[in-house]
Amino acid sequence: MHGLINRAVQSFVCVTYGQSCWLRVADAAELGFTEFEAMLVYDDDVTIRVLDAVCADLKRPRAEILEDLGTYLVSHPKMEDLRRLLRFGGVTYVEFLHSLDDLSDRVRLAVSDLCLPALELIEVSPTEFRLLCHPGLAGYSSVMVGVLRAMADDYGALAMLSHDGQDGEAEVISVVLVESAFAKGRHFDLGARKS
């Protein structure tokens, strides 16, 4: 597993539940260290042990933890770069949804050795969509539900999301757009630069 993914889990736990929680998780997962290096690659087993330890420590199901991680990845100020990458997908939430087919390629442009599973959007109607999360990263669809919820808020859209089981090997996320301009979205400037 790419270190960026492990580092994101570490950051999420530290920011949301505190450094002491992270230290308990690192100990329970028998990491032998307390800080992931973002540009290293770790055995998948390491990530699984960390997620198991987080779930045990917090007494919450993995799908809930991963959905919260997805929300954190978009909404926390420390993760502004990822939010910007996602906002390049379009001016509206629907345009953003349609851009998800290219997300793994856009991520690979930013980090060449980070491979995310393919996503495929199916438009059922102008307000109803099915997002197929193809295999390759366990729990990816749960993370994507959190990302999609947070991005709906970011765009000011009101959307209902749910897991809809499987379509072949792909996990399905159902997206129903209730209102595209429900609230004022967060400010986004295409030409913004970091200070």
State pLDDT tens for residues 145-165: 999 999 998 899 999 999 998
pTM: 0.88
Report pLDDT for 190.
53
Helices (H), 18-133: 19-28, 44-58, 62-75, 80-87, 93-99, 103-110
The pLDDT tens digits for 16-71 are 999 999 999 999 999 999 999 998 999 999 999 999 999 999 999 999 999 999 99
